[in-house]
Amino acid sequence: MRRRSPARWLAPIALIACAFAIYTVVDKGLLQDDGGAKTTTSKTSTSGKGASTTKKKTAKKAKTYTVKSGDTFSAIADKEGVEVEALQEANPKVDASALHPGQKLKLPR
């Protein structure tokens, strides 16, 4: 009778273990990197006559500006009270000479 190699049953177990380890690492990475998702936490405090619940947002929503016909970076900066350089830093992929109506720009904080 021919003896079977332990690799015949160890290989599938190793494959499953590796798949589980990869899934765990990727899943944990996705949970830590929300990508700007809104997160709310609630606190409940009891004092005196009853319980009150307060919600606190931990992620602030970024302010945006919708470009109108004829707008320029300098005009938008003046309207919003920010520096032109700060507006350009907040929107590095936007070409200042190619603004079009309806385009959304992030406003610096």
pLDDT in tens, 22-50: 888 877 666 555 444 444 444 544 455 55
Q: Are strands 50-57 and 40-47 parallel, antiparallel or unpaired?
A: antiparallel
How confident is the model at residue 53, as a pLDDT?
Answer: 55
CATH of the domain at 96: 3.10.350.10
Which has the higher per-residue pLDDT, 6 or 11? 11
Domain that holds residue 69: 64-106
Note whether residue 99 is domain-resident. yes
Note whether residue 78 is domain-resident. yes
Note whether residue 49 is domain-resident. no
Note whether residue 37 is domain-resident. no
The pTM of the whole model exceeds 0.85: no
**Average of pLDDT values for 82-106?**
91
Across the chain, what does the average pLDDT equal?
Answer: 77
Note whether residue 13 is domain-resident. no
Query: Of 9-13, 29-33, 61-65, 103-107, where does mean pLDDT reach its minimum?
Result: 29-33
Number of domains in the chain: 1
Note whether residue 101 is domain-resident. yes
Note whether residue 39 is domain-resident. no
The contacts of residue 106 (CB under 8 Å, 6+ apart) are 62, 63, 64, 90, 91
